[in-house]
Structure 1
Amino acid sequence: MLSVLIIIPILGAALVGFFPGKITDEKLRKITLAIALSLIAWTVEIAIKFNLNNPGLQFQEHFTWIPQLGLTYNLGIDGLSLPLLALNSLLTFIVVYGYGNNVDRPRLYYSLILLVNAGIAGAFLSANLLLFVLFYELELIPIYLLIAIWGSKKRGYAATKFLIYTAVSGILILAGFLGITWLSNSPSFDYDLISTQGLSLKTQLILLTILLVGFGIKIPLVPLHTWLPDAYVESSPPVTILLGGILAKLGTYGLLRFGLGLFPETWQIVAPGIAIVGTFSVLYGALAAIAQQDIKRMVAYSSIGHMGYIVVAAAANTPLSLVGAISQMVAHGLILAILFHLVGVVESKVGTRELSVLNGLMSPVRGLPFTSALLIMGGMASAGIPGMVGFAAEFLVFQGSFSVFPIPTLLCIIASGLTAVYFVILLNRTCFGKLDNDTAYYPKVIWSERTPALVLAVVIFFLGIQPTWLVRWSEATSNFLVTNSSIEIQKSNIEIQNSKLKSQNLASLINTTEIQNSKLKSQNLASLINTTEIQNSKLKSQNLASLINTTEIQNSKLKSQNLASLINTTEIQNSKLKSQNLASLINTAEIQNSKLKSQKSKFS
């Protein structure tokens, strides 16, 4: 069902661009108008079947496209994308109907318009990160050609500048998406399968910053805005309507979908900085608009300021502020479309956009009273006059953001007063006063030029009087985004507390273990000492017994040796004594024998 919103404009672009045979410009215009009306009808059909109580993606279409890259054809629509899709279809019809007459190279012109519509619709419907980048870049070349071919004098410079800035924006967004998917180990680039909670806080901050810069260029936020004044001013009115009315919303849409949606915890950390940048953009846009003399450039700077409201509301991240952010995107697109359309009508009839030249356009005879009246109405809507869509959207933004960021919100309220100042300057100089007598009658405004402004004026008044039609589509999704953000933050806080508790428990466990180890060591040491003493005592006893045994053995051996030695000595002494006694006995015997012999001799 959703693919129809992409396929119809692509096939229509091919049909218009390559229609066989000759065909008049008017027929080409009618074919393109029929395609634009069919897109509006299909969007209305989706809105009728849309479940207001379902905050998630509805009417999803999913099939694998390039599995090696993790690229799936995954489409879905919710309360964030549905209002912007309706705005895309409406502004495409306005552009084709109001500026189809006498356009050069109509085949290429209408084909490019339809391709831009397809790219924007595909980006809003994409539920796959790579698919979003693919459609995001699809509108780059068609818009570049629309500026470069049908723009004014400096169109080449403006188109090239737009191309460079948008290409850098796309590269940063792609780098951020690749980092998110690879670092989180996600199996796919599908939006609902990606979670960044496993990444470190530092990694999340780096990835979120990359996305903020990428989408900040597209919004654009100051100081990333320098491409916008040139692109808006040098473009033809229908291209400017597409640029400011719907194309810039890709930036704020991406901020909410992928910034807040994928980084709910980290978003709360950087939210004050986002609010400051948004507030600065609001003030800068208002002050720069006051200083302009070109009414188209004035409206361009006004666009910067009003996009800042959306950023502040997104930073606040409350249910009411997010509803206000989505409402402000729609309101800004409608108001900017009618203002750029009327500025284009004035330029085509008067031949200038300079405030110093324009005067007395409300003159009922020679002026442009109908166009001037609608221009006054557009200025009032932009300034936030009650009863118009601008008031309803800004009131939601201020009320939802004040509780979170009171000072930035007050500064934004002051800036809304400055909006009234520069539009009073614009309207006073252009619409009132007297025409110079030398000024000829201005050409009459035809109905094809009036009708787009009338349609936009009716929608602006209707949504201002019945703002519930503006917010009813996005309430459930806004509440879901805030609730999901709160849940993720609570999960993170619980994880942090659990981590702290684990650390405390671990420290307590370590202390307890150390105490137990200390006691155990003391017990083991005492036991070891006792055991050692016992072993030493036993060892001493064993050593003593062994020593005694050894001593006894040695003593026994010594006694044996001494006894043997004594016996030997005694035997030797006895032997000697015997020898001496024997010798003495022999000597004595010999002496006695000698004496006996002597006696015998005497007797003889």
Structure 2
Amino acid sequence: MLSALIWIPLVAALVIALLPESAAPRSRPIAGLAAGLTLALACILLAQFDLGQAGFQFQEQLPWLQSLGLSYALGLDGLALPLVMLTTLLIPLVISATDRAIERPRFYYALVMVIAGGVTGVFLARDLLLFFLFFEVELIPLYLLIAIWGGQRRAYAATKFLIYTAVSGVILLASILGLVGLSGAASFAMDPALAAGLPLAQQTVLIVGFAIAFGIKFPMVPLHTWLPDAHTEASTPVSMLLAGILLKLGTYGLLRLGLGLLPDGWDVIAPGLAVVAVISTLYGSLNAIVQQDMKRLVAYSSIGHMGYIILGMAAATEVSIVGSVAQMVSHGIISALLFLLVGLIYDRTGTRDLTVLRGLLNPERGLPLVGSLMILAAMASSGLPGLMGFVAEFCIFRGSFITFPIPTLLCIVGTGLTSVYFLLLVNRAFFGRLPEQFAHLPPVAWREQLPAFVLTALILLLGIQPQWLVGWIQASAHTLVALQIHSQVPSQIQPQIQPQIQPQIQPQIWAGS
């Protein structure tokens, strides 16, 4: 069933690409059907998923290029499940948010389906080379989505994205080949013991390679400069896709391949990652404060929120890992909603300039519903209790404070800065007197707002019931941290302490929270 999540979108992409020009209008319903089927399958897997089992479930493995040690191996655990659900949920919303009159629909929807299949493959892959292949699948499709359907400076933004991401791919491949080569493994299987015999110096070099490769993808400062340009020039659905799903490839990859395979090397770079987390959080937030373009403001907000995720992973405690994965999902939903609402405002007003926009909450002539949803999304992004963003950030800060108290406090300052720039956005764009040039704004059709309603419902639902999301992650986070602790214990006494890992850690998880 896991293969179906990958191959249904890829087959749909092929079918759409082969449609004759006269059948181009069928591209959208075919893409929608494929996206709906994958969402339904993901929901079935969610219903069958055993929350108490920390290992991989629904595993599939087939021999593939055995002479190279490559296998087609898939599996689903609590770290991947939330991101698979996020992907299969956002793809139908991206399709729904796309203009029905979009130019070259066959090409557009085929590219979206390729990205859907590739991203899902990254989250499910249990083979390092298979992971890399799926990781690179989205490179050219996203480049084309920006370069063809983007804004005035789309060629520059798309080329910059392509260069950065290509460099990321080269470094990632070199790190994977180095890991397997140095370990002497006969295959590319993601074995937690793969690097067990490697000297610390070699692990450190490899983990730095993974950190740079995935850090470009997040992106983390100073590897971030492609992101604001890409978001500014991308169309609204592509920005939803980029912020909601594609940035998570980097954070998930660093968690799975970095902490999961190189725990000793992770200990070496963890303090540096904590510093990078602080820099990313404060840099992204301070830049967001001075932006006049709403879309660029939300883009810098994403950079700031990636800092929280980095901090939680650097601390490598069970609670902080749960928080980081939850923040990946939370940011994916909230940022997709923010970009969607900014797009709806731009479509009606023709501008995203905060020095021009005023009074959009006007109940008679403005965009009151869009404005209300924007205010709620801003509060969720700021970590307001009762909304989806709060629990993820709380877990990150709670789990990270013991390990990195000063970086944690500085990142908490970032949450205050988040409130500042969203208050500035809301005050400038939605309050005050509506300018005459916006006196007769076209109404927003219900189908245009439908994706916003779905995302808003999720923000409210998972804000009220965060345990649903946390429950998916907790067992796998516990196992990941237990392996980290196990790697730090001398091998001669590991058998004695292994049975004690579970009772030592488990009672601490949500005590007092």
TM-score by length of 1: 0.80
State the 1:351 CA deviation: 0.2
Partner of 1:537: none
| Partners of 2:198 and 2:206 in 1: CA distance | 10
Partner of 1:261: 260
Partner of 1:474: 473
Partner of 1:102: 101
Partner of 1:393: 392
| Partners of 1:438 and 1:408 in 2: CA distance | 46
State the 1:494 CA deviation: 5.8
Partner of 1:342: 341
Partner of 1:523: none
| Partners of 2:271 and 2:211 in 1: CA distance | 13
- What amino acid sits opposite 2:9 in the alignment? P
SS at match of 1:461: helix
User: In the alignment, is residue 44 of structure 1 matched against residue 43 of structure 2?
Assistant: yes
SS at match of 1:214: helix
State the 1:266 CA deviation: 2.0
| Partners of 1:126 and 1:170 in 2: CA distance | 16
Partner of 1:7: 7
Conserved? CA contact 1:195–1:262, under 8 Å: yes
Partner of 2:113: 114
**1:135-190 per-position Cα deviation (integer Å, ceiling 9, x unaligned):** 01111110010000000001001111101111110111110000000110001001
Conserved? CA contact 1:71–1:189, under 8 Å: yes
- Cα distance change of structure 1 residues 458 and 15 upon mapping to structure 2, 3 Å threshold: same
Conserved? CA contact 2:397–2:412, under 8 Å: yes
- What amino acid sits opposite 1:57 in the alignment? F
| Partners of 1:98 and 1:483 in 2: CA distance | 42
Partner of 2:142: 143
State the 1:98 CA deviation: 1.6
Conserved? CA contact 1:184–1:194, under 8 Å: no
| Partners of 1:491 and 1:19 in 2: CA distance | 61
- What amino acid sits opposite 1:219 in the alignment? F
Conserved? CA contact 1:181–1:194, under 8 Å: no
Q: How does 1:16-27 map to 2 (within 5 A)?
A: 16-20=16-20, 22-23=22-23, 25=25, 27=26
| Partners of 1:363 and 1:73 in 2: CA distance | 56
Partner of 1:53: 52
- Cα distance change of structure 1 residues 172 and 493 upon mapping to structure 2, 3 Å threshold: farther
Partner of 1:75: 74
Partner of 2:373: 374
User: In the alignment, is residue 459 of structure 1 matched against residue 469 of structure 2?
Assistant: no
| Partners of 1:463 and 1:168 in 2: CA distance | 37
- Cα distance change of structure 1 residues 430 and 67 upon mapping to structure 2, 3 Å threshold: same
SS at match of 1:59: strand
SS at match of 1:23: helix
Partner of 2:506: none
| Partners of 2:173 and 2:30 in 1: CA distance | 36
Conserved? CA contact 1:133–1:174, under 8 Å: yes
**1:226-271 per-position Cα deviation (integer Å, ceiling 9, x unaligned):** 1111111110011111111110001000111000001112212221
State the 1:440 CA deviation: 3.2
| Partners of 1:176 and 1:262 in 2: CA distance | 12
Partner of 2:361: 362
| Partners of 1:153 and 1:59 in 2: CA distance | 46
- What amino acid sits opposite 1:195 in the alignment? L
SS at match of 2:215: helix
Partner of 2:155: 156
State the 1:31 CA deviation: 2.0
| Partners of 1:275 and 1:184 in 2: CA distance | 28
Partner of 1:404: 403
| Partners of 1:55 and 1:163 in 2: CA distance | 37
- What amino acid sits opposite 2:11 in the alignment? L
State the 1:493 CA deviation: 8.7
**1:382-414 per-position Cα deviation (integer Å, ceiling 9, x unaligned):** 011111000111111111111111111111111
SS at match of 1:61: strand
| Partners of 2:107 and 2:326 in 1: CA distance | 33
| Partners of 1:233 and 1:445 in 2: CA distance | 22
Q: How does 1:195-594 map to 2 (within 5 A)?
A: 195-491=194-490
- What amino acid sits opposite 1:209 in the alignment? V
SS at match of 2:71: strand
SS at match of 2:160: helix
Conserved? CA contact 1:29–1:100, under 8 Å: no
| Partners of 1:493 and 1:338 in 2: CA distance | 52
| Partners of 2:193 and 2:125 in 1: CA distance | 14
**1:99-147 per-position Cα deviation (integer Å, ceiling 9, x unaligned):** 1411111111110000000010011110000001100111111001000
| Partners of 1:204 and 1:28 in 2: CA distance | 47
| Partners of 1:406 and 1:273 in 2: CA distance | 14
- Following TM superposition, where does structure 1 have runs of at least 4 consecutive aligned residues deviating by more than 4 angstroms? 492-495
TM-score by length of 2: 0.95
- What amino acid sits opposite 1:463 in the alignment? L
State the 1:365 CA deviation: 1.4
Conserved? CA contact 1:2–1:75, under 8 Å: yes
- Cα distance change of structure 1 residues 22 and 437 upon mapping to structure 2, 3 Å threshold: closer
| Partners of 2:69 and 2:75 in 1: CA distance | 17
- What amino acid sits opposite 2:291 in the alignment? Q
* Further displaced range: 364-373 or 430-439: 430-439
| Partners of 2:435 and 2:486 in 1: CA distance | 66
State the 1:35 CA deviation: 1.2
Partner of 1:548: none
- Cα distance change of structure 1 residues 24 and 140 upon mapping to structure 2, 3 Å threshold: closer
Partner of 1:512: none
| Partners of 1:489 and 1:453 in 2: CA distance | 46
| Partners of 2:491 and 2:400 in 1: CA distance | 24
Q: How does 1:174-193 map to 2 (within 5 A)?
A: 174-192=173-191
- Cα distance change of structure 1 residues 493 and 394 upon mapping to structure 2, 3 Å threshold: farther
| Partners of 1:404 and 1:167 in 2: CA distance | 34
| Partners of 2:468 and 2:34 in 1: CA distance | 25
Conserved? CA contact 1:402–1:409, under 8 Å: yes
Unaligned runs of 5+ in 1: 496-604
Partner of 1:134: 133
SS at match of 2:194: coil
| Partners of 1:147 and 1:437 in 2: CA distance | 33
Q: Which has the larger radius of gyration?
A: 1
**RMSD across aligned positions (CA):** 1.3
SS at match of 2:363: coil
